[in-house]
Amino acid sequence: MLRYLLMVFIAVFLFLPGLGNAQDYVIGEGDGLFISVWDEPKLSVSATVRPDGKITIPGLGDVTASGLTPGQLQAELTEQLKDLVRNPIVTVSVQTITNSRVFFFGGGLEVGVQDLLRQTSLLQMLSTVGSLQNTDLRAAYVLRDGEKIKEDFHALIVEGDIREDILLRNNDVIYIPPLREPNVYVLGAVENPRNITFREGLTVLEAVLEAGGFTPFARENRTVVIRKQDDEEITIPVRGKDLLQGDASQNITLQPGDYVIIREGLF
């Protein structure tokens, strides 16, 4: 009776809302585990996962642990111990985590490794690794087991669309390249033609104002944005005078490498 009640308690505990996610952790080499077999102290053991991914269990010998969640390893041990123990009740606890990491590369951020000591989302991880100001979020991706599982971080980071967030796993690789062209160029009939360091959300009006504004000879409504897109140059007309008079539809958002050109004339 006591064994039955204990089994019911364990089942309820494991599937309580908010606690089941703990079972998603994937065991890795170097992790410290405690294997407990109810009422069988000789079969209970502390073990460190070896470089070959295995642990040694009394009565069973070597058992693969790496790559399994605690719940999966628990189920595997329960099945194998049935030849030694009647109705075995096995609990697998992760005591130390040493091999749960994610890796960064691509040049947009410093290449390195971040420990993954708890359940962590992509957004949470990126909030801890430094400025993303000069990174190409649209070209970024997460690589898992050799496959891209998440591409384009722009909506997640810039627009705050948490539907784009994902949970990270051990050995995930995060690729974040730098912006190929980190500037926007404002040329022509402005007081101070210049290049402006690109930032997300930069608009035509902001760029023109940062370049000192239109000169008296500017033909504001003949402003154009020249943009390289898929190996082609496109020209986007901007009616700058209408923009200054409140036409927000003319205030387009710029992209890295854009040229804002304001033509001039006497009339």
φ, ψ (nearest 5 deg) of residue 218:
-70, 140
- If asked whether residues 189 and 130 sit together in one domain, one would say no
Give residue 195's domain range: 183-262
- If asked whether residues 84 and 18 sit together in one domain, one would say yes
Among the candidates 96, 129, 160, a domain finishes at 96
pTM assigned to the model = 0.56
Q: Is residue 198 part of a domain?
A: yes
We report the CATH number of the domain holding residue 115 as: 3.10.560.10
- If asked whether residues 122 and 188 sit together in one domain, one would say no
Alpha-carbon distance of 138 to 163, in angstroms, equals: 16
Number of domains in the chain: 3
99-132 pLDDT per residue, tens: 778 999 998 888 788 888 778 899 999 988 888 8
CA angle, 204 then 210 then 212, to 5°: 110
- If asked whether residues 169 and 198 sit together in one domain, one would say no
Q: Is residue 267 part of a domain?
A: no
One digit per residue, pLDDT tens: the chain, 267 residues?
334 334 433 333 333 333 334 446 788 888 899 999 998 888 889 999 999 999 999 888 999 998 898 999 999 999 999 988 889 999 999 888 877 789 999 988 887 888 887 788 999 999 888 888 788 898 999 999 899 999 999 899 988 899 999 999 888 999 999 888 788 999 999 999 999 988 888 999 999 999 999 999 999 999 999 998 877 899 999 999 999 999 999 999 998 889 999 998 765
Residue spans of alpha helices (H) in 96-223: 122-126, 154-157, 204-210
Nearest-Å Rg of the Cα atoms of the chain is 29
Alpha-carbon distance of 177 to 174, in angstroms, equals: 10
Alpha-carbon distance of 262 to 5, in angstroms, equals: 79
CA angle, 166 then 256 then 157, to 5°: 20
Terminal C-alpha separation, the chain: 97
Among the candidates 49, 71, 96, a domain finishes at 96
